[in-house]
Amino acid sequence: MARIEAFTGGAVTRQEMCPSDWKTIWPELAEKKPNHTIAIGATALNAIEKVAQSAPDSVPPLPPVSQP
**Number of Cα atoms under 13 Å in the Cβ half of residue 59:** 12
Arithmetic mean of pLDDT, 45-65: 70
What is the residue type of 24?
T
Please answer whether residues 25 and 13 qualify as being in contact, where contact means their C-beta atoms are separated by less than 8 angstroms.
Answer: no
Model confidence pLDDT, tens digit, residues 13-46: 888 888 899 889 988 888 766 555 554 566 677 7
CA distance 68 to 30: 33
Residue 11: pLDDT band (50, 70, 90) is: confident
